[in-house]
């Protein structure tokens, strides 16, 4: 197994060294590591036993960091400054995408039960700015468009999580027959306990940070480390209390940033900087452990669901949500198209399989979810390089 870890380390190093050059050819980080993971899988390399457990744990850590970092962007002042277009994409576009997606799932996959169809739609709703990262660095695209897209993709992961948990609970409870009410009570209690633990510990961490910073008690070099430890403490405390750890981490991030007297950016800075290693390994693991089997088991109906999800569901939902804002038709198409599915979709899917038993149609749901991440990484990664030409954004002020 050591030779496999050595190969992964070497290829990751090569990518880091030549990442700028690869970016010129529209090869993004998610594309590279998903393909690398698939190549390893098709070559016969697999992680088994303790190694697979390590990578599952790494995926959970990455999701927890992602949710916490997203939540720290929900400071009261920041929320008040969020442009109307971003707010409408989150509060109107996201629910519309879930409803439209569920209707399409039910129409194309009639054997999929109602709540399983909604679960699949919720898994495909969150977006990942990392898959279209070249958009953020493309100065030909107006700054306002880039800021709004970045804000939306940064916040919708956490907002989609309650939908995922709710629909997963409903889907699992209906498969349990008489146990349905008991299971839904359990899910509700886990969410409630997780939210309570997250709020209390996040607020306490924010207040403690104020005291520490005011009295200059901490080495500034350990700021990022302290944020990671807050996430770890909240995650395991919620688990010990019987709550949902991911809900706890997201709520803790909101409380932490709102109870802090100064801006909290270190969590997001870590995730977008040093923490990229977590994302790289997570995409590698997704490509290696899930994508090959997902592609093999994908049906024609599943492929059609993926196509409509990328080409119709989100574009239509976002277009409708922005109708009364000061956006042009091209801008609405731009926002609708660049909603790539990435880590949140894949890691939420992993989380659902671990925390909920007997969800009807779970194999179909997973096949579509993981294949969507792979397809989205390819098409959105390539088209991001040509965004200004496709949507004529370079001619706007």
What pLDDT does 300 receive? 96
Phi, psi of 274 (to 5 degrees): -60, -35
Q: How far is CA 238 from CA 166, 194, 224, 252, 369, in A?
A: 18, 6, 22, 11, 27
Judge whether residue 131 has pLDDT over 60: no
Q: What is the pLDDT of residues 53-64, one digit of tens each?
A: 666 677 778 778
**Cα distance between residue 314 and residue 288, in whole Å:** 27
CA dihedral defined by 62, 342, 371, 49, rounded to 10 degrees? -10
302 in Cβ contact with 293 (< 8 Å): no
Cβ-proximal residues to 302 (8 Å cutoff; 6+ apart), any chain: 109, 364, 367, 368, 371
Q: What is the pLDDT of residues 347-382, one digit of tens each?
A: 889 888 887 888 999 999 999 999 999 999 999 888
Judge whether residue 247 has pLDDT over 90: no
What pLDDT does 196 receive? 94
pTM of the model: 0.84
Average pLDDT over residues 225-234: 89
Judge whether residue 286 has pLDDT over 80: yes
In order of their start, the domains of the chain are: 49-125+140-395 (1.20.1530)
**Cα distance between residue 83 and residue 202, in whole Å:** 26
Q: What is the pLDDT of residues 214-226, one digit of tens each?
A: 998 888 778 778 8
Q: What is the pLDDT of residues 292-332, one digit of tens each?
A: 999 999 999 999 999 999 999 999 999 999 998 888 899 99
Q: What is the pLDDT of residues 78-106, one digit of tens each?
A: 666 566 788 899 899 999 999 999 999 99
What pLDDT does 301 receive? 96
| More reliable by pLDDT, 70 or 9 | 9
Q: What is the pLDDT of residues 168-205, one digit of tens each?
A: 988 988 765 545 566 667 677 888 899 999 999 999 99
Structure confidence at residue 77 as a pLDDT band (50, 70, 90) = low
**Cα distance between residue 363 and residue 302, in whole Å:** 11
Query: 102-106, 140-144, 157-161, 206-210: which range is least confident on average?
Result: 140-144
Token pair in block for residue 139: 């100065």
**Please, what is the average pLDDT of the chain?**
85
What pLDDT does 395 receive? 46
Structure confidence at residue 397 as a pLDDT band (50, 70, 90) = very low
What pLDDT does 101 receive? 97
């Amino acid at each position: 197994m050591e030779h496999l870890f050595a190969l992964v380390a070497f290829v990751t190093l090569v990518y880091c060294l030549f990442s700028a050059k690869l970016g010129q050819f529209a090869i993004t980080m998610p594309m590279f590591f998903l393909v690398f993971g698939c190549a390893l899988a098709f070559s016969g390399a697999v992680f088994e036993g303790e190694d697979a457990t390590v990578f599952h744990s790494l995926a959970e850590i990455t999701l927890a960091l992602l949710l916490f970092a997203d939540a720290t962007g929900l400071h009261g002042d920041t929320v008040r400054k969020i442009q109307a277009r971003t707010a409408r994409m989150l509060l109107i576009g996201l629910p519309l995408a879930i409803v439209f997606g569920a209707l399409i799932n039910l129409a194309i996959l009639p054997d999929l039960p109602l709540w399983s169809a909604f679960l699949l739609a919720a898994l495909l709703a969150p977006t990942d700015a990392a898959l279209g990262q070249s958009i953020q660095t493309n100065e030909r695209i107006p700054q306002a468009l880039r800021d709004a897209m970045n804000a939306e993709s940064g916040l919708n992961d956490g907002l989609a999580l309650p939908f995922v948990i709710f629909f997963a609970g409903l889907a699992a409870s209906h498969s349990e027959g008489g146990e349905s009410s008991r299971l839904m009570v359990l899910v509700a209690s886990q969410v409630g306990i997780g939210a309570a633990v997250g709020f209390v510990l996040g607020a306490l961490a924010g207040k403690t940070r104020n005291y520490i910073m005011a009295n200059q008690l901490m080495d500034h070099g350990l700021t990022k480390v302290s944020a990671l430890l807050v996430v770890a403490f909240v995650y395991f405390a919620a688990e010990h209390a019987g709550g949902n750890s991911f809900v706890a981490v997201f709520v803790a991030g909101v409380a932490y940033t709102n109870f802090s007297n100064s801006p909290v950016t270190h969590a997001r800075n870590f995730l977008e900087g040093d923490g990229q290693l977590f994302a790289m390994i997570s995409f590698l693991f997704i490509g290696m452990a899930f994508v090959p089997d997902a592609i093999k088991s994908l049906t024609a109906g599943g492929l059609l669901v993926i196509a409509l999800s990328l080409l119709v569901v989100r574009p239509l939902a976002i277009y409708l949500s922005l109708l009364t804002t000061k956006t042009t038709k091209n801008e609405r198409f731009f926002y609708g198209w660049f909603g790539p599915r990435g880590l949140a979709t894949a890691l939420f899917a992993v989380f659902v399989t671990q925390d909920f038993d007997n969800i009807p149609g779970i194999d179909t749901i997973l096949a579509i979810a993981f294949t969507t991440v792979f397809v989205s990484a390819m098409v959105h990664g390539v088209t991001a390089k040509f965004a200004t030409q496709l949507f004529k954004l370079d001619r706007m002020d």
